[in-house]
Chain A
């Protein structure tokens, strides 16, 4: 308690220190006067009485300071003084101040922007209950299997799955498709987010013949339920049936990886699939029991896999469940890119700091006389260092504030550019952690990079420095060396960044020039799904398709066809298949190929070249011999030494006896899953020959002279003229789908490119500043050279060689570091080696040119030196 009171007294003194000083002054004055009075009374004259009183009292100023210091606020007052002084200096040198602050703001701003993304994506916990306990199963599983695992596994406290299907919602004015999450009761329970209204589906309702219940997402509640606080209990028409809303999730809730507008019980939404052991379409999430390690759960899963395989040899022979922590699974893909970008902005900050330190040093040298005088007047070295550091810290904090503003803007730009993969993680914003990061970075920058200049400034012998009599040519060799190191490392760092950016640019251009296998120009696509209730028979589906294509193709200037899944559209259906005459394969072990149904002149519309055989014709229809067209990859993989035309294939585990299809043609490969993905073997069949009712969806592909919004409306009109309750969704041009596929690469390239450009500019400014300063320092020497008859050319060379030496050194170190560092970005590069010599060569040339150009201006100034002026120059 005592020390608390003491602190209170000290604080009181700090607040009233003006008053305090005045009081002390008055007190001492009184003392002196009373003593003087006493002496006067004892008969001294006035002068000697005052002198005697002073002698007896001691050094008034020193005593006053001692009394003041006793309160322990000296450091604070020095700080206030230094800050005040620093601010005055910064105001007086607006050029220096703005260049330093801008340099730091760029470095700190770029770092903050990237850090806030990293903070949001990698560091913030997922918005679920105890998210560290959540794991996800790679790939999908079937509902019966999920139920078995839920019953058997001890390692999990909860678990559940989801499959998102598009269903048409006909409660509004226009039919729309909503993404419906078919879930079991465990799904929402496992994620552990409380509904905002009502409740979630309970286990007793999640069973065969259970009620049709729906839990709405917040956006569904807003858009379709009018944000009605009494929405619970409402009936909504979904997929041809009526569901009762029992709950609404909060706005902050979204499934980890799926987009779903509304959640319904799997048994209600798709009772057929819910009972099928071998329809693996549920994506499952599991919550580890407290204290259970992932490895333990994985081991238990393996045991369950074995049991299931024994029990259901036909369906579950090849089970291999792999569990991954949810967070890792979600951000695993973007982590390398973000870390590389974070490393890159770190380098940008280093360059900015080197520039900053270099600027400070140049200024300290210019201010050497002032410092020397201060030292001569008794300022301690510590105090001088502190003063200089205060100034650099002030600058860096200003830079930090400006950087924060830049980052605000930069983060917005990042969010606008972000690829789909980051789009879901909305937690990207400035929070305390980001602000602390900025504060730490700016203060550290100021102190660490202000240290060298401060130290150089404060060192040295006062007498010697005063003897320099103002001529600054012998500026500390130490400072000189440090600045050389700073400029060299700036160039080296810039080279590393440029190489990184160069590699990404090269990879990106490779990716862009990738042939997708079709011609994306002027193709419009849209997605339709026939409601299962009204189109339960295949002939009915076929009739709709045939009629729609006939109507669309009768419109002038367009050509329309349809396919189950459009390339780059994000959907993929694989199927095992069997080839007639090939050695038999064990059941369940059949090779997988992509299966696509098409109708209309699909290959012509997409301009996918036919390599062999013939295209489908309208005669390849129901009731006719079954036919198929395969991609070149199928031929490479499965018919390496035979002619595929005429071969017979059938889908694995289909109807007995097998329905054989004859291969009639070969088409070129298509990059279906992404431009940076390998091509998949694909088998195309005509829609009318399909016997699978689930293929009730289709994507229209329409090639026109020019894509216009009028076209989209026209197509919708045609669809609705056939059936007014079919929603038209996912309207995209093929070019848009291409762009989405390139987005992540584009994001990486743009950002790293931006950072590299920033680094190049900063490094150029750095070397320019250095050379300009050097030339200023050597004015005298250059003057002598010229006076002794040196040609302007010689002077130019003198300066350029000086700069070139630094540049070569920096480039050499940069190459070595780049070779060491670019390995870290291998995973981001598309078909480019991290040590691509071409990129290195181009970057070295660019950097050398920029460095020389930066030296050229100071060199020209040196060339123009008038020897008479230069010799007198100080």
Chain B
């Protein structure tokens, strides 16, 4: 199969199927955005960064100061937090939650936009893929923010911008935007360099919205990033003792990681890469821990574990089966196939970038691209089902319906998880004064005290349902 033959062509005319898919995506996006809006700003990892933003004299100073970090190069991340703080004019919760809402809507709409929907079966596959996008456990990483701005979500948006540029008709503006996207992403988080993977993989697959010249420029910029990071700024890599880590069935504290892998870090890194990959493909392990396997060995498995691992395993097998079927038919690569190849490259690269520690949030981008592979596979499966007799059509349709129902259940759980997270976060704010007072951290300076009190009142005033009053089945089927 020749992967370099697709000529970038005009986008297909708007059709009813595509319009329905965009409408479906918009409905999902709005409902999840509503959940995001109801959540308070998180305390852990967020509050101190907001106070740091307040203390910083300017966005430029925040950027410059962050360039001197020892293990990470994320100056734009810090600068963004400062910029949103300054622009909020005291409405901190609205500003930070607003950014989250915009990002989640953008992510879902960019995903839907990238799907080449030209027929009814394409639309059905797209609806299925959107259900997988929002149902996969890694998607929750986009909702549970760790920082004032959810940067994992931001990187995923940058990657989808890059993909949409590669799928566009191209032009100098696409090349410029691709370069800007890469620079912004890579200076926000390390995983931002996956934008380069998207652009180059798309180009290699024949998706040439970003031209050869554009690919050369972004590759040059990537080289510049590595030079800046390792040669000029001497920003290192995270050490083994950076944080605790999941390993097989137990969580290792930082000193335990050092003790066990201090002399053989490559084993630890290889483990993290493999489990990150498996997490996207099988929904197990989670954060490096084989939680479902452990629960199964202790005869304490919730329905959620069966649902998550079963649906992911079946979906990944279906993708593999569809790929083999397409390959054996020597079918020419269409646009969906090419996007699926890009998805494979991104999932793999995302897992490799997770070498230092395995966390579902880090592979959330890979999870989003997994849904592109689902789209291509579902189109092939529909084609396969239509190509035989009634028995094949009924059997395959039954399997697809069952799988789709499982993913729809997973997708519907997003709202419960959001409620659960909001409830916990509000409780964190309730306990903050007590904790910080005891730790001697409660601000005495009136300026940071005013920010803390404002955020705390905003959080406590939020009307959030008590998850203890939720029906038990929700915890068993949706629980985090």
Q: Do A and B come from one complex?
A: no
Binding site for B on A (CB under 8 A): none
